[in-house]
Chain A
Amino acid sequence: MKTAIEIENLAHNYGLVKALKPLNMSIESGTLFGFIGPDGAGKTTLFRILTSLLLPTQGKAKVLGLDVVNDFRKLRPLLGYMPGRFSLYQDLTVEENLNFFAKLFKTSIEENYHLIKDIYDQIAPFKNRLAGKLSGGMKQKLALSCALIHKPDLLFLDEPTTGVDVVSRAEFWEMLRKLKNHGITIVVSTPYMDEAALCDKVALIQKGKILQTDSPQNIMENFSKPLFSVKSINRNSLSKDIETFGKTDSFYWFGDSIHWIGSDDKDADLLRIYLQQKKHEDLEIEKINASIEDCFMDLMKGNHE
């Protein structure tokens, strides 16, 4: 496997703010790689450095074997980049935008149409509509088409699914899978932890620090803490009561139940007794396998402390 991105001791400060702490990692060619982390974690900063838009404060990064600082002229044409903010010309139509970006990269829509066909077919009915008047999901599809039009070797997508409805998000990830099959390395960032499971490999990033890099399967399998789902009819006092329970390691709302981590499997029985004393009815406590979100919640909690 070839290496698409190699990062060595890379860091970036905005004045006194350490946006990115010294970072070492590599990303293999042909993978769908996800950076998962909350807003302000440093994802955009990292992407801007890797796309040569920002100079790192320290360290080195090689993308497609080219240095992001010195070889930026050679590097830029090989990259496809979709910034986090919708960055197309809102006063141009769908078709005009696509044409413009094709010409910018000295290619034509026809030449690489096979790449964007699946995506573009969905927005083609609106090709004469101004880009600014498209819905959120449509905008992202158009932006993706524009980023792909020159058949880049490496695609950077900065939070492509933020502000997009659930159905469009699922469609979007489906497209990324297909693109991967065309041999394009895709690096994507997202604040939605559930999307991590859709990547080949993920890196959890928080406060400018990478907490873990692995495949989602490995991350989930390596989670060893006792994790339980707790449900009660009396939702309002549930979290308060769990908080006062002495054996609680951590807990958080997960949909309509609370995910609770103790220090031992046996603690769950103690929790049941404790909650019954607190007059919780229809109590459901069951051991569950960690989802990727559970793993991240746990990792992020560790980083906070």
Chain B
Amino acid sequence: MKGFIIKEFLQIFRDYRSMAILFGIPIAQILLFGFALNMDLNNAHIAIVNKSGDSKSIELINKINSSDYFIVDQVFNSEKDIEAAFQQGEIKEVIVIPEDFSARLATNQKVELQVVADASDPNTASILVNYTQAVVSSFQQQNIKGSSTSLPLIQVESRFKYNESLKSVYMFVPGVFTIILMLVSAMMTSISIAREKELGTMEILLVSPITPVQIILGKVFPYVLLSFINAGLILLLSAFVFGMPFSGSITLLLAEALLFILMALSLGIFISTVSNSQQTAMLLSMFALLLPTILLSGFVFPIKNMPDVLQWLSHLMPGKWFIIIVKAIILKGAGIAELWKETLIIFSMTLFFIGLSVKKFNIRLSTN
């Protein structure tokens, strides 16, 4: 056993390709998601058509400009200029302030602000409109407070709990964390066992006193350790590079990660028992594991919006449960009391796959 583990480490460290997969991919992915797929909007360039031109409207413009979200690039006098501004592409949104802005505001009458957004990118447009509403309503509040004859206004105040500023880091860290652990653990073990088959070393291993359980454990142990280091690396990166807050217990998170790694490893071993070459093992891990995990785990597409059949399928994705766990621990600070159900599911899946792999592990060469 010990000899086997030492051999396994030697092989991993000597193979630059697997080292690259092991540590390169996680870092590249987390940085990619963090920087390239950033859905937060800061400093969006907008224009304002100020038909009113009085002090109140200037006040509003200043308020908008001073927020982090917007930079007021241009101020027009008429709506005619809107089209040209959008055409140039710099401006993502135009706010139109009506002529009687201050007058109506002073008499507590309804004021209509027109917001025109460039919806060629619908996500950006809707986020911008939301931001605008937020800024305007806070402006409104200030003004109403100042007025003595304020009417009781009903105002909906929405609060995005656990992710107040709707930062996308909070969204992607649990997802990427899950996918990387899944990919690295399952793919690496399945490839490494398939390699023994492909290169014929499995033949010699079989004609030796070592048992299937020992071979499996010897394969799993190094990857548990490396994947665990990987998990720590991802968490450190998300905390220090992207400012991900951790409200829950780190120990619990790491323990759950360890369980999930074990699950992924046993899945990887199972894949290797049904594939005879490294390539089959890799393709199987990619298509049978990675894609469903990305698509059905709720990482990219919300599960609630899926057709029933897919929702059912998503229950079979170990990644789904792990994403729930990670989100709950990191964002809500949940403990094991709230998460025992999901933990149990992953635990049973682990046992299931380990049992299946030990059973399917061929003590002989396949007969075809």
Contacts and interface: CB of A to CB of B under 8 A. Distances in A.
Interface string A32-50: 0000000000000000100
Contacts of B89: none
B199 A100 contact: no
Interface string A49-85: 0011111000000000000000010001101010101
B136 interface: no
B364 interface: yes
Contacts of B363: 72
Contacts of A77: 208-209
B208 A15 contact: no
Interface stretch (B3-11, B47-55, B69-77, B79-87): B3-11
B207 A53 contact: yes
A154 to B, nearest CB: 11
B195 to A, nearest CB: 10
Contacts of A92: 7, 10-11, 14
B365 interface: yes
Interface in A89-117: 89-92, 96, 99-106
Nearest to A86: B200
Most chain B beta-carbon neighbours within 10 Å: one of A15, A90, A91: A91
Interface string B231-275: 000000000000000000000000000000000000000000000
A87 B7 contact: no
Contacts of B7: 89, 92, 96, 100
B368 interface: yes
Most central of B11, B15, B364 by chain A CB within 10 Å: B364
A87 B10 CA distance: 17
A221 B246 CA distance: 87
Nearest to B12: A91
B206 interface: yes
B149 interface: no
Interface in B354-368: 363-365, 367-368
Given A92-B7, A96-B10, A51 B367 contact: no
A81 B207 contact: yes
A92 B15 CA distance: 10
Nearest to A13: B367
Given A53-B203, A92-B11, A100-B7, A48 B365 contact: yes
A105 B3 CA distance: 10
B3 A81 contact: no
Contacts of B159: none
B205 interface: yes
B201 interface: yes
A91 B201 contact: no
Given A81-B203, A92-B10, A100-B7, A53 B209 contact: no
Interface string B1-39: 011101100110011000000000000000000000000
B156 interface: no
A104 B208 contact: yes
Interface string B183-225: 0000000000000000111011111111000000000000000
Given A54-B365, A104-B3, A104-B4, A81 B204 contact: yes
Contacts of A55: 364, 367
Contacts of B367: 14, 54-55
A91 B210 contact: no
Nearest to B15: A91
Contacts of A102: 3
A88 interface: yes
A14 B201 contact: no
A87 B2 contact: no
Given A76-B209, A104-B4, A53 B365 contact: yes
A105 B10 contact: no
A102 B209 CA distance: 11
A85 B200 CA distance: 7
Contacts of A48: 365
A14 B364 contact: no
Contacts of B200: 83, 85-87
A100 B207 contact: no
B207 to A, nearest CB: 4
A52 B205 CA distance: 12
A104 B207 contact: no
Contacts of B10: 91-92, 96
15 contacts: A15-B368, A53-B207, A53-B364, A54-B365, A55-B367, A72-B363, A85-B200, A89-B199, A90-B199, A99-B3, A100-B4, A100-B7, A101-B204, A105-B208, A146-B204
Given A100-B3, A101-B204, A104-B205, 19 more contacts: A14-B368, A51-B207, A52-B207, A52-B364, A54-B364, A76-B207, A76-B209, A81-B203, A81-B204, A83-B203, A86-B200, A87-B204, A88-B201, A88-B204, A89-B7, A89-B201, A100-B6, A103-B4, A104-B210
Closest 4 CB pairs of A and B: A103-B3, A87-B200, A81-B207, A77-B209
